[in-house]
Chain A
Amino acid sequence: MLEIRFHGRGGQGAVVASELLAQAAFLDGKMPQSFPFFGVERRGAPVTAFARIDDRPIRVRTSVTEPDVVVVLDPGLLATTPVSEGLRPGGLLLVNTRTAAEALAGPVGIRRATVDATRIALARGLGTSMMPIVNTAVLGALSRASGAVSPEALDRAIAAFVPARPDANRDAARDGYLQVRAAPAREGPSAAPAHPRPPPVPIPEGPIAFLSSESTPTAAWRTFTPVIHRERCTRCNFCWKFCPDDAIELGADGFPRLRAAFCKGCGICAAECPPKTIEMVAEA
Chain B
Amino acid sequence: MAKLTIPAEEWMFSGHAACPGCGPALAMRLLLKGLGPRTIVSVPACCWTVIGTPFPTTALRVGVLDNAIEATGASISGLRAAADALGLADVTVVGFAGDGGTADIGLQALSGMLERRTDAIYAMYDNEAYMNTGVQRSGATPWGAWTTTTPVGPAARGKPEPKKDVMGIVLAHRPVYAATLSPSFPEDFDRKVELAKGLRGPRFLHIFAPCPPGWRFDSAETIALGRLATETGVFPLYEVLDGRLRITRKVSTLRPVSDYLAKQGRFQHLTPEEIARIEAQVRTDWERLLAREREDGPAPA
Contacts and interface: CB of A to CB of B under 8 A. Distances in A.
Nearest to B186: A241
B18 interface: yes
Contacts of B220: 130, 266-268, 270-271, 280
Contact of A267 (B12, B19, B219): B219
A237 to B, nearest CB: 6
Contacts of B26: 242-244
Secondary structure dominating the interface of A: loop
A207 to B, nearest CB: 7
B295 to A, nearest CB: 35
A259 B12 CA distance: 15
A40 B50 contact: yes
Nearest to B16: A213
Contacts of B1: 235, 253-254
A237 B4 contact: yes
Contact of A266 (B29, B59, B219): B219
Interface in A32-91: 40, 42-45
Interface in B1-44: 1-2, 4-6, 8, 10, 12-23, 25-26, 29
Interface string B202-215: 00000000001100
Contacts of A216: 15, 53, 57
A49 B205 CA distance: 39
A42 B18 contact: yes
Contacts of B183: 242
Contact of B5 (A221, A241, A259, A267): A241
Contacts, number: 136
Nearest to A272: B223
A177 B54 CA distance: 39
Interface residues of A, number: 49
A190 interface: no
Contact of B20 (A201, A221, A254, A259): A221
A241 B220 CA distance: 14
B219 to A, nearest CB: 4
Nearest to B30: A241
Contacts of A99: none
A246 to B, nearest CB: 5
A105 interface: no
Contact of A42 (B12, B19, B222): B19
Contacts of B58: 209-213
B161 interface: no
B104 interface: no
B279 interface: no
B56 interface: yes
B224 interface: yes
Contact of B55 (A128, A207, A235, A271): A207
A140 interface: no
Given A217-B15, A262-B14, A272-B223, A44 B53 contact: no
B129 to A, nearest CB: 15
B218 interface: yes
A174 interface: no
B14 A214 contact: yes
B20 A266 contact: yes
Contacts of A270: 220
Contacts of A264: 19-20
A222 interface: yes
B221 interface: yes
21 contacts: A11-B213, A40-B50, A43-B20, A45-B17, A130-B219, A209-B55, A212-B15, A212-B61, A214-B14, A217-B15, A218-B15, A242-B186, A242-B222, A244-B29, A254-B1, A259-B14, A262-B14, A262-B15, A266-B22, A266-B219, A268-B21
Given A246-B14, A266-B222, 8 more contacts: A130-B219, A211-B57, A213-B13, A236-B2, A246-B10, A254-B1, A268-B222, A270-B220
Interface of B: 1-2, 4-6, 8, 10, 12-23, 25-26, 29, 50, 52-59, 61, 183, 186, 212-213, 218-224
